[in-house]
Chain A
């Protein structure tokens, strides 16, 4: 494909330094209303240690948490037309966007709702595109579409798995039809990755709703969901208004989606890195490592050694026990 030849130039950037936050800063858990200190939350990957509620994570925090040693390189993302519709509701979209960008630059140096980075996970090179819900609700407009296309290109160029981590309310209304057009565009992006024979993994985090679910987010080779995450196409209020009855218990939660066959695995955040690493390793390193198969051993394998066994190479070899995916 010719769009792949426009190689993305990865640009190494200094990691964003951890901000100094006073230890006595606290939050209230949205689920159990318990008091949570910032320091405890940080240590607990922003999961409430009282009730297990998974709080939303910023994109940078995600990357820090998932890449080996928290080390990765972010890539520069394509610039897009600003406010193509000159959209105005009670406020101008240009102003909303400017505020969000000013905030994002302070927080993580990003220019829109997705950050793309590459590094290793469990020793395997990987590309992650992570959404920032804090940026206009993680909504998908042209910039997000371009970011996902760039992430896909990067994965293909690097022959690395692509991991996309949505945290989004859906399409960005203020970009109108152009935001809807990010559905086919992102579908194309991830399809190119899959056609290149590379794993495409979606990590569904709270929330993954609206137009985003109806595109790249439901097309992964593997769907991993974080505990309790809201995942669904139509909004709960819209459904309730339409059917005029109460919604079932746990409707559109990760566990509910697992039960209905929409996701492969539901994980606790502390197991996410390990699970991802294990899956990537299984999908990427497909045959026994060369060093554990001494050449003379292969040469000495006589036909009688296979009597009553299936004569595949694998059956005669010790399984690899590198355990790259061990939880840390």
Chain B
């Protein structure tokens, strides 16, 4: 498989290139290189640990956008059976940028909603690069209400650069759709478990993420504006994105410190994209634990706890 490397992964790419080369030689039976490979692999691991142990905010933005990072569809495939996609907002259209349906997750029936960015040019266009229109947020509201009706937990997986900025989207009430989606998140009387799996982009992300528990993957990001957008406004130059990323405090670690999120889910060595099976399993464990914690609660209590959490947010621990 072709691996994509990020700029700062150059030393890792070089080492892995050597390993690949050795493997090819070994295949031809010319030499026994097992020992050499294992040495190199140790080096790679060491390098990965060093690099990923101290990623800058901007590097995390790149990891969060890594093309090989597991997507909504990977989590569905790994964690659920009987996934039944449900389409449409019953008002105007179906929106492929925001996927949702009912599925069986580790024995529980659940409604699962999430952004899908697509994985190649064709599917990226189909999914509008994960940027939803009002129809998407209205479908999300509808599915959350369906979940509430049947007492099913709602799982939301967030991975979007933001809501789609278009003429039609504005005309059909992008703002209203997001506002109502946030309201629905805060309203429903079944557990809402949210995980930021890649990019949590502004209003388009919080529309699905006002949950009972909100987690972020170790190298995911969540921000009020993209670093590029912030840089172009405050620095008047998008090239300052790296400084903006630093200033915005958008990493999982920052958000946990500010008590905006409840948990960080560790990623496999070298990032989620290096081991999709491991990553999806870790996310599954987290979600299962949350469902087991929240599902037994009385519906009114569940709702009140969620609302109280958001109301108290930012009031303590920031001084």
A residues sitting closer than 8 Å to B (CB atoms) are 1-3, 80-81, 84-85, 87-90, 142, 145, 149, 171, 173-181, 183-185, 187-188, 191, 211, 213-219, 232-235, 238-239, 242-243, 247-248, 251-252, 260-262
Q: Is the CB of A214 within 8 A of B223?
A: no
B contact residues, range? 35 or more
Across the interface, A187 reaches (CB within 8 A) one of B172, B183, B250, B313, namely B183
Complex Cα distance, B172 from A187, in Å, reads: 20
Given contacts A184-B182, A214-B174, whether A234 and B163 have CB atoms under 8 Å apart is yes
Would A239 and B165 count as touching, CB distance under 8 A? yes
Inter-chain contacts of B165 with A (CB < 8 A): 233-235, 238-239, 242
B interface list, Cβ under 8 A from A = 163-167, 169-176, 178-180, 182-183, 185-187, 202-203, 205-207, 210, 222-225, 229-230, 233-235, 243-244, 247-250, 254-255, 258, 260, 304, 307-308, 310-311, 313-315, 318-319
- Say yes or no: B260 contacts A219, CB within 8 Å: no
Q: Which residues of B contact A180 (CB under 8 A)?
A: 202-203, 205-206, 223-224
A239 and B166: CB pair below 8 A?
A: yes
B176 touches A218 (CB 8 A): yes
CB distance A188 to B186 under 8 Å? Answer: yes
Given contacts A142-B314, A191-B186, 16 further A-B contacts (CB under 8 A): A80-B315, A84-B314, A87-B247, A89-B234, A89-B243, A90-B235, A177-B224, A180-B206, A183-B179, A184-B210, A188-B311, A211-B202, A218-B175, A232-B175, A233-B165, A233-B174
With beta carbons under 8 angstroms apart, the residue of B171, B229, B230, B313 that contacts A260 is B171
> Which of B165, B178, B255, B304 counts the most A-chain CB atoms under 10 A from its CB?
B165
- From the candidates B223, B229, B313, name the one contacting A176 in the complex (CB within 8 A): B223
Docked CA distance A181–B169 (Å):
23
Docked complex Cα distance between A90 and B255 (Å): 23
**Partner pick for A233 among B203, B249, B250, B304, CB 8 A cutoff:** B203
How many Å from the CB of A35 to the closest CB on chain B? Answer: 31
Majority secondary structure of chain B interface residues (helix, strand, loop or mixed): helix
| Best-surrounded residue of B179, B244, B254, B319 (most CB of chain A within 10 A) | B179
Query: Do A243 and B166 form a contact, CB below 8 Å, given A89-B234, A191-B183, A211-B202?
Result: yes
Whether B260 contacts A177 by the Cβ 8 Å rule is: yes
Q: A80, A215, A238: which contacts B314 (Cβ < 8 A)?
A: A80
Chain B residues lying within 8 Å of A251, measured Cβ to Cβ, are 167, 170
Known: A187-B186, A233-B178, A243-B167. A177 touches B311 (CB 8 A): no
Q: Which residues of chain A come closer than 8 Å to B304, judged between CB atoms? A: 1
Q: Report how far A248 CA is from B260 CA in the complex, Å.
A: 39
Closest chain A CB from B185 CB (angstroms)? 7
Q: Shortest Cβ distance from B29 into chain A, in angstroms?
A: 55
Whether A232 and B224, one on each chain, are in contact in the complex, defined by CB atoms closer than 8 angstroms, is: no
A145 contact set on B, CB distance < 8 A:
314
- The answer to whether A232 touches B179 (Cβ under 8 A) is no
Chain A residue numbers with a CB within 8 Å of B225 are 171, 173
Within the complex, the shortest CB–CB distance from B231 to chain A, in Å, comes to: 8
Q: Quick one: closest A residue to B187, CB to CB?
A: A191
Partner of A181, one of B207, B248, B308, B314: B314
Q: Are the CB atoms of B186 and A173 closer together than 8 Å?
A: no
CB neighbours of A183 from chain B (8 A): 178-179, 182, 203, 206
For B243, the chain A residues whose CB sits under 8 A away are: 89
Residues of A near B206 (CB, < 8 A) are 180-181, 183-184
17 contacts between A and B (CB under 8 A): A85-B247, A85-B248, A89-B235, A177-B223, A178-B314, A180-B206, A181-B313, A187-B179, A187-B183, A191-B187, A214-B178, A215-B179, A218-B179, A232-B175, A233-B203, A238-B229, A242-B166
Q: How far is the CA of A87 from the CA of B247 in the complex (A)?
A: 5
User: Within the assembled complex, what's the spacing in Å between the Cα atoms of A138 and B33?
Assistant: 65
B127 to chain A, nearest CB (A): 16
CB <8 Å contact, B310 and A181: yes
